[in-house]
Chains A and B, each alone.
Chain A
Amino acid sequence: MHDTSAHAVQHHAPTSFIRKHVFSLDHKVIGKQYYALALAAALIGMVLSWIMRIHLGWANAAIPGLHALSPNGAPGGVLTPEYYLQLMTMHGTIMVFFVLTTAPFAAFGNYFLPIQVGAEDMPFPRFNMMSFWVTFTAFLVLVASFFLGDGPTLGGWTQYAPLNAIGSASGPGQGLGVVLWMISIALFCIGQLLGSLNFISTTLDLRVKGMSLMRLPLSAWAWFITSCMGLTAFSVLMPACILVILDHVAGTSFFVASGLVLNDQVIPHSGGSTLLWQHLFWFFGHPEVYIAIVPGIGIVSHILLANMRKPMLSQRVLIYCMGALAVLSYMVYGHHMFVSGMNPVSALAFSFPTLVITIPATITVLIWVFSLYGSRLRINSASLFALGFISMFVSGGVSGFFLAQPSIDIMLHATYFVVGHFHMVMGVAAMFGIFAGTYFWFPKMSGRMMNETLGKVHFWLSFVGTYCIFMPFHYLGLVGNIRRYSTFVDDFLQPLIPVHRLITVAALITGAAQLVFVYNLIHSRFRGKPASDNPWEATSLEWSTATPPPWDNFGGKHPVVYHDPYQYGVQSSVGDYVMQASPEQVKTDHEEK
């Protein structure tokens, strides 16, 4: 049994408004700040997607407000091809970085990891505060690119070279827009590295007495594994971004080969490598998508357990699967580069681990599904979104079978099939994880319950709506609908426009449903029913403390852990569960030590 406890008080209770709510050292405030950032980013990213989808269905539509945002990009409110790409780039960048990496990991992780291990705070509260404000600055820099120069970069969130390096002659936004993107993302990487340091040291060093590693909740394991990935992935992206900035401002040619000609002028760079960017980017990029989803896997497991009222078939196997996903994620990145011009033998080398990574993903789904067998599953907004996550993860995951094979990728690369795949398996699934976490933990964070009816409306519209949006993407891809096209003008693609219009309608309805969620959040924050300390009858340490927790989490008393995190289905003095911090001895099937 591991016996480490947090001793020294990390910092004193804040008194001023600024210290309490703005430049706070408290991990809980920082977690909420990250959540608010992710929420704002998600709304912006969603509106960008509405604009894109309207344009794809109705290319000549005048979209209200756009002319004011960019008279050049959208004269009369009608998107130009470049502005479509610029908005698309910002949609992807904002969603992947500022929503999917921020909410499941930085927001919920910051708030709950220290509490779930029994600590008063993270070991480096100043780094933690810095990590949020650096991330926030990164967001401001990115958004600033809408309003500076000739707008944001148009190269996609993947920013391939040499389009990312040769400057404004290659297109609007390719000068200042790219530099701002690179600065923003480099800052984001720094924020995440600081955060990862805190998460790792919290998990390894600040667990209270009785909290062995195997007694950590699955959400804590997920945040820990994600932070290890973050350390190794963001540390590669950041220098890559700096190299691109140098190509722009310092006359270097890291990514620009010799003898290229743009607008009849020979480009004054030489000796660089186009593919180098792709290797650096995807070495980060593939672990990044697991950074986006592994916290969701932990959160969904955690929530399902509280709602199934019985343990998982094996908690240990789930932890190993998350670890396997993390390790394998570094070996598969070349599957984004099958037709990139890299050595075709490498394609086969990357294809095998890509197929093999299916195994831990499948085991995870099987454990979840077969743990439902024989349970007393409670249906509420949180558990519905957790179940929805499973369905989405499966749907998005099976399309990976196709993309993992280089020969099939010849037909599906750069089509809507890929777009459907990653939106389902990463975008929607991770969003469902965020929603599940919100409905589950909102009572603890705010002291009030969210409205269940509105939560269920939100779920049904989102679940059916996202299937209606993204399942057709796969069919479009199979037919040969190329992605990242601002308009469909040729004979082959024009007949597909009616399908795009249906998708757009689904997207707008699903988008409207998210406003129900936002209303619920805000209304419940002020008018929600007061929440008890443990409204879900759950077992982990966050439910042992007050609602909302005091500034030092446990009111000066360090808890002692006596049980596994998920002792459900037992008979105790409080019901069919026993809390981790309860000294009560009950008859259980199996206890970790």
Chain B
Amino acid sequence: MGKFFAITIVVIAIASAIPIVMHTWEAPADISTHGHLIDEQMSETMAEAGISFLAAQLLLAFFVWQFSNRGVETKLKSFPGGAKALVIAALLVVGVEVLALGVFGVKAWADVYLTPPSANAMPIQVQAGQFAFYFRYPGPDGKFGPIHPERINEGSQEFFGLDKEHDVDSRDDIVTAEMAVPVNKEVHLLMHAKDVGHSFFVRELRVQQDFVPGLDVSLHFTATKIGRYEIVCTQLCGLGHYNMKAYLDVLSQDDFNEWMKKEAAMQ
């Protein structure tokens, strides 16, 4: 039965590797300027993890095959080099691997999170609340008016609690249910949580960030491909979590201007 165990492990290991090698299930194509760094990091990690996985499982299988159910007359052997060799190998191989992954991965992270948005990035605010995303554009004055929590009223579609009467900056703000951005233009996304924790995830854009109630966080990104993409909530927020999504439309500059005019007219 030891040999059967060995064969089972080999079959499982190879079967597990096949969908990866054949790229059967992969993330959708990247549409961002920073995403290629993440994708490269992912490929490198997959190669290293894949090799470690296969090596460990195959070694386990091999030794179980060779050394299971041997009679008492067989000689006991000790792996040459003993534990010391293994500790050194682990420190060197794994140590180098983890340092490499860690160090090279810093740039991918830093590009998203540790660099500020450029000065001419287009600001858009997104508010997450049970169970929808709403977006706000600052309008021609380029400024967002203040949010008044006590004025928020979903029934009357006052999602951001704006006081257009008293707050000048709010008057030209444009509130939408979908997010549109011009292609190849950097966006500075300001994230506000209305009630509980939510998260903003667009797979193709390679961005995911939690909303933090009480703390306005922000992201910046540049979309490089025209199309319509899902924005999904990934932080458990209540019973409607599974259905909490919006759409990101990446449009040509002209189409974006058209869209903005239409939305402004509907305020």
Contact = CB atoms under 8 A, between A and B. Distances in A.
Interface of A: 80-82, 85, 154-156, 160-163, 166, 170-172, 174, 256-262, 264, 266-267, 272-275, 309-310, 312-314, 317, 339-341, 344-345, 347-348, 351-352, 355-356, 358-359, 362-363, 365-367, 369-379, 384, 387, 390-391, 394-395, 398-399, 401-402, 404-408, 410-411, 413-415, 456, 460, 463-464, 467, 471, 475-476, 478-480, 482-492, 569, 576
Contacts of A576: 72
B194 A261 contact: yes
B98 A359 contact: yes
B259 interface: no
Given A340-B210, A402-B45, A410-B208, A480 B203 contact: yes
Contacts of B75: 374
12 contacts: A81-B243, A85-B239, A161-B197, A162-B197, A170-B196, A264-B152, A266-B150, A379-B1, A405-B102, A456-B1, A487-B242, A569-B76
B185 interface: no
Interface in B178-210: 193-197, 199, 201, 203, 206-210
Contacts of A394: 52-53, 56-57, 60
* Max count, chain B CB within 10 A of own CB: residue among A272, A313, A411, A485: A411
B26 interface: yes
* Max count, chain A CB within 10 A of own CB: residue among B8, B68, B71: B68
A264 B50 CA distance: 50
B235 interface: yes
Interface string B67-90: 111111011111100111011011
B114 A391 contact: no
B167 to A, nearest CB: 16
A339 B106 CA distance: 15
A264 B154 contact: yes
Interface stretch (B36-44, B118-126, B136-144): B36-44
A310 B155 CA distance: 73
Contacts of A345: 114
Given A262-B196, A363-B86, 18 more contacts: A85-B239, A259-B149, A260-B195, A260-B196, A261-B161, A272-B214, A313-B82, A344-B113, A363-B90, A366-B86, A377-B70, A384-B5, A395-B53, A401-B48, A405-B101, A411-B42, A463-B8, A475-B19
Interface string B232-255: 101111111111010000000000
B83 A367 contact: yes
A475 B20 CA distance: 8
Interface string B12-28: 10001001100011111
Nearest to A158: B236
B86 A372 contact: no
A172 B238 CA distance: 9
B145 to A, nearest CB: 15
B152 A402 contact: no
Contacts of B20: 475
B217 interface: yes
Contacts of B207: 410
Nearest to A172: B239
Contacts of A478: 25-27
Interface in B148-173: 149-150, 152-155, 161
A366 B27 contact: no
A261 B60 contact: no
A467 B15 CA distance: 10
A385 B238 CA distance: 38
B208 A414 contact: yes
A374 B67 contact: yes
Given A162-B197, A373-B79, A463-B8, A471 B16 contact: yes
A489 B57 contact: no
Contacts of B64: 372, 377, 387
Nearest to B191: A341
B95 interface: yes
Given A81-B240, A363-B87, A367-B86, A261 B215 contact: no
Given A378-B69, A476-B25, A163 B79 contact: no
Contacts of A257: 213-215
A372 B66 CA distance: 9
B38 A374 contact: no
B67 A387 contact: no
Contacts of B90: 359, 362-363, 366
Interface residues of B, number: 107
Contacts of A489: 242-243
A95 to B, nearest CB: 17
B236 A170 contact: no
Interface in B105-130: 105-106, 108-109, 112-114, 129-130
Given A155-B236, A257-B215, A398 B49 contact: yes
Given A369-B63, A414-B201, A85 B236 contact: yes
Contacts of B60: 369, 372, 387, 390-391, 394
A360 to B, nearest CB: 8
A405 B67 contact: no
Contacts of A414: 199, 201, 208, 234-235
Given A363-B90, A373-B67, A377-B70, A154 B105 contact: no
* Max count, chain A CB within 10 A of own CB: residue among B48, B150, B236: B236
B37 A407 contact: yes
B227 interface: no
Nearest to B215: A341
A258 B209 CA distance: 21
Contacts of A569: 76
Given A166-B196, A369-B63, A395-B53, A339 B208 contact: yes
Contacts of A390: 60
A170 B129 CA distance: 11
A192 B193 CA distance: 36
A419 to B, nearest CB: 12
Given A274-B197, A406-B105, A374 B78 contact: yes
A275 B241 contact: no
A309 B71 CA distance: 11
B71 A376 contact: yes
B92 to A, nearest CB: 10
B177 interface: no
